[in-house]
Amino acid sequence: MGRQVIAASSSLLAGVWIVALSSIPSAQSYRDQLASGVEASKIVTAYDAMTVIVPITMIGAWIISSRWLRQLHDAATASSPIAIRRNRTWVFWSWIVPVVSLWFPKNLIEDLLKANGSDEAKSLIGRDTMTWWLTWVGFALVNNISIVAAFDASSDYVPIRPELEIAAACLLTGSYLVWIRIIRVLGD
């Protein structure tokens, strides 16, 4: 199942980069259409068509990763009922429940690495898990900044922000690189 998690995570990363790169010409296209008098609500760009990729791949990655993590959770708690701090329910829901989503998933991964017991797994706890988690949370925050900024924006505001899209893609890339190591260490 680890391979499926890698494939789903890779799809998410590819989707984020496709959207980020499409945002560059699309922002200019948006400006050009706005300058030519097209009403903001009627402007269409390639970015608009591409943005659907991210939620689809993110939901897929979440479901596949959660199934895999649930299997690891079950195996860890079968051998030691106190190996994992959170119960099985949190394996799935910790990623989306407000507030706890800021640290429960990191706790789960660290507990699974400890339960694994290998020196390689233990070496990932600390700096590597913190890097993975901070870049993931950073991606999520940066990815949502442009959405929030558009709420009270003026009529000439360009809602496509390539600088934020590229920054989010870079953060996700950093998170992905560590995540792949975690997946490989935890295995199937």
pLDDT tens column, 36-73: 999 988 999 999 999 999 999 999 999 999 999 999 99
User: How far apart (Å, rounded) are the C-alpha atoms in residues 77 and 72?
Assistant: 9
Largest CA distance in the chain: 67
Looking at the 3D structure of the chain, how many domains does it have? 1
Global pTM reads 0.92
Could you tell me the residue range of the domain that residue 173 belongs to? 2-186
For 7-32, the pLDDT digits (tens) are 999 999 999 999 999 999 999 999 99
Cα angle value 51/57/59 (rounded, 5°): 110
